[in-house]
Structure 1
Amino acid sequence: FSEMAQRIDAFTGGVGLSANPRTGFGDSARCLPLVALTSKSLVRNLDPMFDILAELLGESVFSDTGRLRTLLLEYRAGLEGMVVQNGHRLAMSLAARRFSRARALSEDWSGVHQLKDVKRLLEDLSDARLGELVGDLARVGSTVWDRSRFQMAVVGERAAVTRAGELAGSTLSAIGGGAAETPAGPENGFPGDRLREGWSTESAVNFVAAAFPTVRLEHADSAALAVIAKLLRSLYLHREIREKGGAYGGFALYSSEDGVFSLASYRDPHIIATLNVFDGAFGFLRGGGFSETDVKEAILQVCSEIDKPDPPGPAARKAFFRRVIGLSDAIRERFKQRLIALSRREVMTAAEQYFGGGLNQCSVAVIGSEEKLREANAKLPEPLELFKI
């Protein structure tokens, strides 16, 4: 392991691996559970970089149970550390996990449920249990590292890309192949039942989230929802949650890929007051507490995110992943045109359609101390179901 780490440091700018469930565009709109392997190097180090990738893909061995035990303990510590650091994102993930297969997988792979699974796994670190885990990891690796499923992109100058393409072919030949692709099934059963949950941990502050399903990027109302998220954050949530409530931040996010709208607070001293603010957001929108100028400013904020310039490398990687999930330039251009032409009246119409049910239409998840959650439950008309992280 130390030798491989030294080679990675010597010949590359890093090697990364991540699991990211995505939702495809087009007629199927199916879940795409992706595993992304990334690396970069100077042109002179292309050969050793691809040698490293071939070895990682084709010769991975998990039999060193001592090292495996250490990695698992480090992984758990990292997951535990992110609870307070990224509590608002974890709460949003919990609240939205029943709205699509990709959201459910994302929660299982990188949310609170991943931490609970790892804790459960580490309850038994005996050699026998670790031996079973070694076999499980080997089976997962042989399934995931299958060249019939690989899609690869090489980014660089023309001569370097030509050489990298040749090396990529030899790298893929080093791993197994031939298994038929098994895409995730249709989105049956989503969105699921509304949930109201409280998750307790050692924290002096709370992270409150509410989420509900809307429509995706291809829909005519997607541009209005993106603008509504900006209006809520700048004109309402910042004032009510941060300035009046004392939280570090208040957020409104519209995910056009999944069609999920979320509200959240960060490092929040309150629970009930924040839920009341979330409920009031629906009244704020339906009451039209924003002007045509506010709408235009929100449109510019969304446009700035779409048109934000990226260096060539990151821009190419983003384009590659858009191709993987089927997000065409035509879909993006139609969204941009709807966005630019958006009026206050259209925003009001969308607010009436998607925000009419108030907090009753939302799933709610709160992360905080057990004491604070129980205090809130004693006053809430619809108590939270309590769990421990």
Structure 2
Amino acid sequence: MRTRSSPGLVSSGRSNLASSSDRWIIDAAGNHVPYVGINWPGAADTMLPEGLNYKSIQDIVGVVSQTGFNAVRLTFAIELVDDILDNGGDVSLNDTLINALGATNGTIVLQKILTNNPQFTAQTTRLQVFDAVATELAAQNIYLHLDNHVSKAMWCCSLTDGNSWFGDTYFDTDKWIRGLSYMAAHGKANWPTFSSVGLRNELRPSLTLASTLQPYTWSTWKQYMTAAASAVHAANPDVLIFFSGLDSDFNIEPAVGGSTLLDPGFSFSVADYEWAGKFVFEMHEYDEGISSSCTIYESILGSFGADATTKSGTGTNRAPLVISEWGHDETDASGAYNSAYSTCLTQFMVDRQFGWMLWVLAGSYYIRSGVQDSDESYGILTHDWSTYRGTASIAAIKQLIENTYSAYGQ
């Protein structure tokens, strides 16, 4: 597949996305721009973008570009900002790796990162690493979408991890809004292709029984999500703002429809807010075995909010939709690339001209749920990040990329 420069980027590499309009994300010239992206995790225990112990930032971004993606969903933890503002300042590579991996393994991984990325030192901070990623994304004409994945840095997501819902054990809503505002302003000043912010990843019920936990309702969702969006917009009025839904971001229908019988007091109109022209819905969809019939599958997804781009009627919120997480085992032997789930979802995304972001740009993690150097079967790369994990699987992804661009006439 050919290497492609990203649609919507001006020659300087500066982001040229302008706004959302009806069902479209558009650039300054009024062109419809698809998000065709991949997730790069950076919100786990180390609070660093994954894979730098195996490859340089330049090489990893090169994979993004050469595969044909035009966007990266880069995840971060609010804890990173809390450390900067409350706990004495940002943390060095040396300290964050030792904190997460222990003295022996942390030192080993540090030396690997420095070998692959000699622009860093042991005292380079975590946010400086994010800055270096952003600079390279711009150099290779890739949009940067920043996603708040968790508050306390860890592998996501469960109902008991304390990151689930507003007021959960680690989900301090004031610090969350502060962290989003801080990163929005920092990105505006330092990240040339910074184009959008995801307010929160996979909101879901919590089983922690935290005393500060807020009611799991759409009214609570509206209260906090709109406040966060307004803070982001005030800090950086240029970026698009992605709204996730409930039930691990599978359900956005009440927000799309503007009301729900399950919460009679809930009423939501995007047009009421100053960021209405920057609004985008996001939805996650993994293989839940919904149906092997694509017609039935699409109908069910539509009932949970995948009708966001076609919805009409009084009180509805028609807007762009990006499937910001989806994916499957990337090994050819799994056959997942040719499953009913993959076939139906990819066909649906192309037909409806959704944006999308694959999970995941990885081969392994520094640490996942306590396991160091943990393998990632959903990663498009092998464990050592050296090549594609599956031949047929990546061919299917490249075909989807081509089909998505073609659907936009690009």
TM-score (norm 1): 0.25
User: Relative CO higher for 1 or 2, CA cutoff 8 Å, sep ≥ 6?
Assistant: 1
How does the TM-score come out when normalised to structure 2?
Answer: 0.24
- Structure with greater helix share of residues: 1
Largest Rg, 1 or 2: 1
